[in-house]
């Protein structure tokens, strides 16, 4: 790596020289190197180079040094060869020659080495150059290929553009030709139209002339007709005269017919008279017959009278019987309720008997047979009940009494328990008191003992002092006394310590602790109060600052044309305009709705009228078109389709034999269905084939049409 960096540096240094070398032909360099020995300039160059080389490439120089021992080795054998003793001059000469030769050899070797290094450098330089040139070459090639690609792309684009251009041109030409064609067509059309116009003109002229001719003919005909009319008038006059004759004839005929009628009437009357005469004759005959039967009739009358008498008697008898019947019916009526009562009584009796039986059974069950025994038993039972009731009431009263007593007892018990409690409390107190008293008693006894001791002591003292007043004795006495006193004191102390100290110390400590605690609390509370007070003051100040904006200290100023004022003004203006508008509208409303804008009303009315007309026209158009449509359907498909109701359609065929032959269809959610009719029942074959098998209504209808058509045509043929 180091070597490479060295090489790069070396290259950098050599850069200027390389230029020189590149410009100079290599032959010069060689010649220069050959001249190196003799020319000083070349020497200097060589020196410069060697200097440069010595900086970086000592290794190469080292190699030249390595060559010297070889030379020495070569020299050594030559020196060894000179075994024969040469002459001193010769030897000297030879030595000189040798030295010169050696010098030359070293020089030449140095040159050779130098040449080698130069060559190597050159080679390196050339290789680098070559590499760079190759790189450049590659780059150039790449650039070339890129350029070629671009060129191709451009060519392609050009080609595309050309194609587009040609296409556009083609299109343009096509469109041009089309337009020209269109133009020619139009011109042709125009020419045709012109021809037509001319033709029509001509034809109209012809028509006009024809019409004129017709008119002339008609005028002639008119004249002919007028002459005919005159002729006919004459004939009419003739006919009227003949008609008059006819009327006179008719009157004569009428008279004759009247007479004829009269005659016929008379004839009829006569016939009637004749008939009545015949009747009279018959009556007379029957009367004669009756007269002959008279005697028989008389006999019969007698018989009838007898029978009449008999009948009268029978009538009398019947009246009597009727009276009797009447009497009997009244009696029956009177007896009927009695009978009913009887029945009821019987029923009652039966029921009573059954009940009696029951009673008896019941009595028997209780071991009583007679009614008296029963009553006695009942009485005894009642008395028993009475006694029981009395006992019950007594018991109840007793119970009440007892409950009362219980309550009182309870109350007393409660009282007693409370008393007991009180007493227990008292006892406890007493006990504690006793305890205390015992303690005190103990104390007192101890005190008493101590006093007693003291007394003893005093007594002793007294006795001692009384006995003798020796100094030593008094001193001993005093000391003993002191001791005793001290003991007593100790005893007191112990006592005190034993009894009070504990509790006292405890209480004292407790109190102290409490006091300190309270003190601390008070301290903290005070601190808190101070803090809160400060806070309050602060807040108050703040509040004052915020709430009361120093009304007395400051003057509130503002710009007269501030946005609020502007907005308020705007608002008022808006309000006024709105109010004005309201007033205006109200006034307009009061005047009446029509007076608001008559123009608009007029316009609206016109519009309404227009729309109505439009609607009417559309209706007409619709009905006519519907009719047309129906007609077309009928003519094309052979069926007249009528809508008989909601989703119901009646189809009648063109070739149907009668108006009753029609089919009914209903529109369902999933298609259309045929409804059963009398006529459809007669077409079961077609229905089976086309509707059930093919499932196609159109095919069925066409088949029906075909069938009807063939039938009608056959009929016609038959006719």
Partner 1 sequence: MSQQQTKNCITLRGSAQIICEYLKFAINSVLFQRGLYPPETFKAEQQYGITLLISEDPLIKSFLTNLLTQSEEWIVNKKVTKLSLVIINVANKEVLECWDFNVQYEDGDVALSKEKNETVGSKELKKIQQEIRDVMLQVAATISYLPFLDCRCSFDVLVHAKPHCDIPEKWAEAEPISISNAQNVQLKTFSTSLHKMETVVSYKLAD
- Any residues with CB less than 8 A from the CB of 686 and at least 6 apart, and which? 700, 703, 704, 707
- Cβ closest to partner 1, residue 523 vs residue 570: 570
Judged by CB under 8 A, does residue 541 bind partner 1? Answer: no
Burial of 246 (0-12, 13-18, 19+ CB in 10 A): exposed
Judged by CB under 8 A, does residue 551 bind partner 1? Answer: yes
- Cβ closest to partner 1, residue 158 vs residue 570: 570
78-107 binders of partner 1 (CB under 8 A): none
Among 274, 285, 289, 555, binds partner 1 (CB under 8 A): 555
Q: Distance between CA 1 and CA 9 in Å, rounded?
A: 12
Q: Distance between CA 164 and CA 157 in Å, rounded?
A: 10
Nearest distance in Å: CB 612, partner 1? 48
Q: Where are the beta strands (DSSP E) in 577-693?
A: 639-645, 648-653, 662-668, 671-675
Judged by CB under 8 A, does residue 565 bind partner 1? Answer: yes
Burial of 579 (0-12, 13-18, 19+ CB in 10 A): exposed
- Cβ closest to partner 1, residue 291 vs residue 553: 553
Backbone φ and ψ for 206, nearest 5 degrees, come out as -60, -45
Judged by CB under 8 A, does residue 536 bind partner 1? Answer: no
Beta carbons of 711 and 655 less than 8 angstroms apart: yes
Q: Which residues pair with 665 in a beta bridge?
A: 649, 674
Nearest distance in Å: CB 512, partner 1? 49
* Helix, strand or coil, per DSSP, at residue 644: strand
Question: Among 234-242, 264-272, 326-334, 564-572, which window interacts with partner 1 (CB under 8 A)?
Answer: 564-572
Backbone φ and ψ for 650, nearest 5 degrees, come out as -110, 130
Among 554, 658, 716, 719, binds partner 1 (CB under 8 A): 554
Q: Distance between CA 195 and CA 189 in Å, rounded?
A: 10
Judged by CB under 8 A, does residue 549 bind partner 1? Answer: yes
Among 246, 267, 466, 556, binds partner 1 (CB under 8 A): 556
Judged by CB under 8 A, does residue 463 bind partner 1? Answer: no
Which residue do the tokens 């259309």 mark?
A: 672
Nearest distance in Å: CB 538, partner 1? 13
Nearest distance in Å: CB 557, partner 1? 5
Number of residues engaging partner 1 in binding (CB under 8 A): 22
Judged by CB under 8 A, does residue 564 bind partner 1? Answer: yes
- Any residues with CB less than 8 A from the CB of 121 and at least 6 apart, and which? 14
- Cβ closest to partner 1, residue 562 vs residue 644: 562
- Cβ closest to partner 1, residue 84 vs residue 556: 556
Judged by CB under 8 A, does residue 578 bind partner 1? Answer: no
Question: Among 197-205, 281-289, 385-393, 557-565, which window interacts with partner 1 (CB under 8 A)?
Answer: 557-565
Judged by CB under 8 A, does residue 538 bind partner 1? Answer: no
Nearest distance in Å: CB 570, partner 1? 8
Q: Distance between CA 549 and CA 559 in Å, rounded?
A: 19
Judged by CB under 8 A, does residue 315 bind partner 1? Answer: no
Nearest distance in Å: CB 534, partner 1? 18
Q: Which residues pair with 274 in a beta bridge?
A: none
Give how far Cα 222 sits from Cα of 227, 241, 350, Å.
Answer: 9, 29, 132
Judged by CB under 8 A, does residue 539 bind partner 1? Answer: no
Judged by CB under 8 A, does residue 568 bind partner 1? Answer: yes
Nearest distance in Å: CB 537, partner 1? 17
Among 2, 246, 291, 553, binds partner 1 (CB under 8 A): 553
Per-residue tokens: 153: 């792309």
- Cβ closest to partner 1, residue 267 vs residue 559: 559
Rounded to 10 degrees, what is the CA torsion of 478, 483, 484, 490? 150
- Cβ closest to partner 1, residue 237 vs residue 578: 578
Beta carbons of 677 and 671 less than 8 angstroms apart: no
Question: Among 154-162, 177-185, 221-229, 547-555, which window interacts with partner 1 (CB under 8 A)?
Answer: 547-555
Which residue do the tokens 């042709």 mark?
A: 188
Per-residue tokens: 351: 């029921």
Nearest distance in Å: CB 543, partner 1? 9
> Residue 218 CA to chain centroid, in angstroms?
88
- Cβ closest to partner 1, residue 576 vs residue 657: 576
- Cβ closest to partner 1, residue 544 vs residue 621: 544
Judged by CB under 8 A, does residue 659 bind partner 1? Answer: no
- Any residues with CB less than 8 A from the CB of 46 and at least 6 apart, and which? 36, 114
Number of other residues whose CB lies within 10 A of the CB of residue 704:
24
Residues that bind partner 1 (CB under 8 A): 545-546, 549-551, 553-568, 571
């Amino acid at each position: 790596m180091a070597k490479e960096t060295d090489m790069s540096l070396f290259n950098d240094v050599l850069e200027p020289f390389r230029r020189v070398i590149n410009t100079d032909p290599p032959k010069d360099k060689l010649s220069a190197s050959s001249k190196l020995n003799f020319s000083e300039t070349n020497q200097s160059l060589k020196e410069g180079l060697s200097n440069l080389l010595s900086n970086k490439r000592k290794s190469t120089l080292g190699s030249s040094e390595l060559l010297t021992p070889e030379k020495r080795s070569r020299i050594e054998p030559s020196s060894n060869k000179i075994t024969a003793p040469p002459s001193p001059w010769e030897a000297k000469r030879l030595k000189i020659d040798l030295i010169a030769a050696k010098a030359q050899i070293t020089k030449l070797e140095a040159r050779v080495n130098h040449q080698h290094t130069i060559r190597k450098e050159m080679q390196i330089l050339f290789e680098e150059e070559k590499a760079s040139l190759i790189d450049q070459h590659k780059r150039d090639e790449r650039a070339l290929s890129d350029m070629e690609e671009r060129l191709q792309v451009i060519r392609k684009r050009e080609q595309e553009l050309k194609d587009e251009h040609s296409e556009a041109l083609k299109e343009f030409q096509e469109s041009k030709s089309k337009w020209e064609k269109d133009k020619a067509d139009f011109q042709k059309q125009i020419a045709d139209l012109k021809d037509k116009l001319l033709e029509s003109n001509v034809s109209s002229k012809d028509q006009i002339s024809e019409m004129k001719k017709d008119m002339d003919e008609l005028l002639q005909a008119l004249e002919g007709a007028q002459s005919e009319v005159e002729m006919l008038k004459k004939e009419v006059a003739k006919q009227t005269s003949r008609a008059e004759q006819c009327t006179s004839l008719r009157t004569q005929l009428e008279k004759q017919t009247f007479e004829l009628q009269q005659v016929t009437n008379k004839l009829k009357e006569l016939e009637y008279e004749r008939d009545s005469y015949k009747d009279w004759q018959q009556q007379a005959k029957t009367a004669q017959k009756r007269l002959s039967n008279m005697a028989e009739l008389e006999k019969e009358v007698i018989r009838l009278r007898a029978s009449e008498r008999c009948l009268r008697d029978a009538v009398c008898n019947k009246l009597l019987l009727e009276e009797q019947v009447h009497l009997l019916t009244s009696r029956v009526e009177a007896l009927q309720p009695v009978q009913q009562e009887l029945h009821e009584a019987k029923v009652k009796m039966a029921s009573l008997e059954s009940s009696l039986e029951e009673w008896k059974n019941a009595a028997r069950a209780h071991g009583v047979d007679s009614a008296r025994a029963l009553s006695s038993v009942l009485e005894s039972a009642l008395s028993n009940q009475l006694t029981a009731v009395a006992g019950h009431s007594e018991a109840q009263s007793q119970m009440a009494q007892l409950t009362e007593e219980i309550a009182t007892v309870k109350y007393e018990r409660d009282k007693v328990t409370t008393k007991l409690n009180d007493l227990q409390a008292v006892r406890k107190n007493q006990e504690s008191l006793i305890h205390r008293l015992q303690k005190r008693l103990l104390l007192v006894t101890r005190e008493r003992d101590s006093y007693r001791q003291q007394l003893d002591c005093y007594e002793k003292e007294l006795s001692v002092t009384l006995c003798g007043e020796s100094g030593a004795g008094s001193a001993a006495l005093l000391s003993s006394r002191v001791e005793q006193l001290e003991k007593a004191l100790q005893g007191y102390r112990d006592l005190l310590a034993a009894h009070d100290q504990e509790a006292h110390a405890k209480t004292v400590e407790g109190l102290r602790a409490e006091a300190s605690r309270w003190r601390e609390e008070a301290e903290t509370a005070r601190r808190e109060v101070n803090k809160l007070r400060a806070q309050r003051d602060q807040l108050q100040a703040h509040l004052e600052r915020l709430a009361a904006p120093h009304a007395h200290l400051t003057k509130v100023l503002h710009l007269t044309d501030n946005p609020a004022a502007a907005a308020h003004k705007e608002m008022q203006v808006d309000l006024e305009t709105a109010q004005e508008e309201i007033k205006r509208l109200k006034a307009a409303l009061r005047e009446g709705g029509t007076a608001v804008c008559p123009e608009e009303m007029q316009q609206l009315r016109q519009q309404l009228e227009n729309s109505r007309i439009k609607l009417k026209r559309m209706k007409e158009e619709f009905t006519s078109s519907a009719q047309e449509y129906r007609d077309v359907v009928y003519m094309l498909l052979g069926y007249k389709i009528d809508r008989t109701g909601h989703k119901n359609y009646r189809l009648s065929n063109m070739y149907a034999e009668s108006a009753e032959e029609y089919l009914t269809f209903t529109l369902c959610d999933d298609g259309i269905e045929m409804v059963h009719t009398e006529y459809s029942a007669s077409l079961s074959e077609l229905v089976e084939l086309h509707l059930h098998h093919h499932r196609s209504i159109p095919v069925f209808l066409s088949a029906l049409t075909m069938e009807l058509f063939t039938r009608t045509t056959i009929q016609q043929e038959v006719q």
